[in-house]
Amino acid sequence: MMMGLLAFESHQGLWSGGYYSQLFGIGGVMITVAILMLSTGYFGGIGAPFAPYFWPYLGQVPKRKERKRPVRVYMDGCFDLMHYGHANALRQAKLLGDQLIVGVVSDEEIVANKGPPVLSMEERLTLVSGLKWVDEVIPNAPYEITEDFMNSLFNKYNIDYIIHGDDPCLLPDGTDAYALAKKVGRYKQIKRTEGVSSTDIVGRILLTFKQKDHETGAGSCDELKSHLSHFLPTSRRIMQFSNGKAPSPGARVVYIDGAFDLFHAGHVEILRSARQLGDFLLVGIHDDQAIRDRRGYRPIMHLHERTLSVLSCRYVDEVIIGAPWEVSKDMITTFNISVVVHGTVAEGNSAGEVDPYAVPKSMGIFRTITSPKTITSVSVATRIVDNHEAYKKRNLKKKASEDRYYTQKKFVSGD
């Protein structure tokens, strides 16, 4: 029974192979006693010269393996207008533990601390659950880490550490929302992703639709510059988001393409549906100019930003950055595509142009799949435009805190 409770490690040496491999248990104890008697000179003092040859093997005694509990880390957020900055924060948080549990702040708490959310709780839960680094989700989390909620995290969810970015998260009274976690020594910090925020995206949307509906003058050029993306794309960031794996031999490769602007719950659900049709999901992401040609205005998020959002989705295996508008025979052969799919909900004006799926249709590998949600990038943007006064007020409030962050910003190591 005792031997059954022990987990043994495999070693090469005195105990490995041949006759000595059977000398565990009582035999092993006898040999150990004999070595000790030799080393202490029990047999007429002859033990000492031989002892150095035996001592290294004492380390080969079977060891009990301790099963370590996985380190569970918690990070929360509003995750409204989900973007690659959110995804990168959760990617970094996952690196600090084995399991990442994410709290999604309730609508009521967002209204009280920030202003009206753009996306519903259901939409935000879909987005967070769809990220490849997330293991569990806690809906309706509080904005502030209160003592009661912190105890619930530690005792009910077995959380080891609470994570947040290096940018301050302040309550309306100016106090730190994570003060208690820091006080008990269970707080860890990650580096904020530069170049994007929900506040910035709201500003881009309001400006884009303002320009779309009205003639732009000289004054709007300065306004446009203030809302241009400040994201600095690097190959390292793309590698961090990528799975880095090719399809296995004989895998059924599914291809779907689109703009994937303002990555939303509808995108997550259509990608999930597409992935279920094969073994490997390849996603084509159209470039900014191709989208502008068909919509009449540039996408809110530029190509590299949209690429990271798509790569962060757990259902995506690989992407084509700046994919061609038309799916060609050469492209199908190059990527060994088995089926090309498209959803029933689409954006952009395609009237009068060549069918981009003519080739896969002629090959009998095209399939239309029902879009699980009717939400689109335009419908998300319209929510903000229709309530622009409320969101302008929210943005002014948030922009002040972000300006303070950038004024006092210092270099923080990490990725």
Give me the mean pLDDT over the 71-93 stretch: 95
Q: What sections of 246-339 are H helices per DSSP?
A: 265-275, 288-295, 303-311, 329-334
Please give the average per-residue pLDDT across 46-50, as a whole number.
45
More confident residue, 54 or 85: 85
pLDDT tens-digit series, residues 115-140: 889 999 999 999 999 999 999 999 99
Least confident of 251-255, 289-293, 394-398: 394-398
Report strand pairing: 136-141 vs 366-369: unpaired
The residue type at 155? N
pTM: 0.77
At 345, the pLDDT band (50, 70, 90 cuts) reads very high
Q: Which residue has the higher pLDDT, 76 or 9?
A: 76
- The residue-averaged pLDDT of 15-38 equals 45
**Average pLDDT across the chain, whole number:** 81
